[in-house]
Amino acid sequence: MRRGQARSALATLFMWICFLSAFPLGYWLVFLGAGILRGRRGLAWALRSYARGFIALLLRTIPRLRLEVPQRAQLRDIRGSVVVCNHLSFLDPLLLLSLLPGTITIVRRDFFRVPVFGWLLLGAGFLGPDLFAQGRPWIDRVQRRLQSGDNLLVFPEGTRSRDGSLGPFKRGAFYLAQQLAAPIVVLRLAGTDRVWPRGRWTVDATANNAIEVRQIAIISAADAAAATNSDLSSRVHGALQRG
């Protein structure tokens, strides 16, 4: 095994040991207190802080890696929106959850079967891919979350890019925005695939690049409601391609 590969394997192992051990070593008290005091929103806050810890650990473990968020204050002010973003890496949802306030997202069904972690996701109001089968009660529940100031994060490609290019969109994100009568905030991610690309089980501990998060467009709730699903998809796809 080459030195770089060994370093990457050890860095990944170290990160996961730290990340996973934090919960039984005491962070479970944060989740318990947040859940008792603030319910779903408290659990979502605790998951956000846990994600922030993971990103901070990543940046310390890979010292030449940089995080550039030129609109950090602007991202903290996003409220009651459907946030859509391109999808490059396993890191993307953790990074965006660490930056956006009160945010829930759609996760793979098998995540909910993971002991403790899956229960926390359910408790925080995270959604499964079969959400459309749940009908209007689900839409009303998520709409109440957005009306209270929370956000819904969606990756319209539905999967991570294989080569860094922008893939075709599934239209569910835009259907959701219209059903929820919510504005759409478009974010663009760059660089996460160079740190943890699809198909690789370890981070690249030799990475020497910047991860960048930028807000590139906002579509008002009124504009989203007036447009067709296809028009919204094309508009956002074009914005992300232009960067």
Instruction: Note the pLDDT of residue 180.
Output: 83
Q: 197 vs 87, which has greater pLDDT?
A: 87
pLDDT of 167 higher than 70: yes
- The one-letter amino acid code at 89 reads S
Distance CA(211)–CA(223), nearest Å, equals: 31
Average pLDDT over residues 224-237: 90
Instruction: Note the pLDDT of residue 171.
Output: 75
Cβ partners under 8 Å of residue 199, min gap 6: 162
Note whether 232 and 179 are within 8 A (CB).
no
Q: 191 vs 140, which has greater pLDDT?
A: 191
Range of 186's domain? 3-242
3-class DSSP state for residue 68? Answer: strand
Average pLDDT over residues 2-8: 83
CATH code at position 200: 3.40.1130
pLDDT of 205 higher than 70: yes
pLDDT in tens, 92-150: 999 999 999 989 988 888 888 888 888 999 889 888 877 666 666 777 888 888 988 99
Cβ partners under 8 Å of residue 239, min gap 6: 186, 216, 217
H-helix or E-strand containing 153? strand 151-154
Instruction: Note the pLDDT of residue 133.
Output: 65
Q: Cα 54 to the chain's mean position, in Å?
A: 13
pTM of the model: 0.91
Instruction: Note the pLDDT of residue 31.
Output: 92
Average pLDDT over residues 78-84: 94
Q: Starting from the edge strand earliest in sequence, which strands make up the sheet with 66-68, in order?
A: 66-68, 210-219, 184-190, 82-85, 151-154, 103-105
pLDDT of 239 higher than 90: yes
Instruction: Note the pLDDT of residue 65.
Output: 96
Q: How far is CA 193 from CA 31, 139, 149, 163, 164, in A?
A: 30, 32, 30, 9, 7
Note whether 38 and 45 are within 8 A (CB).
yes
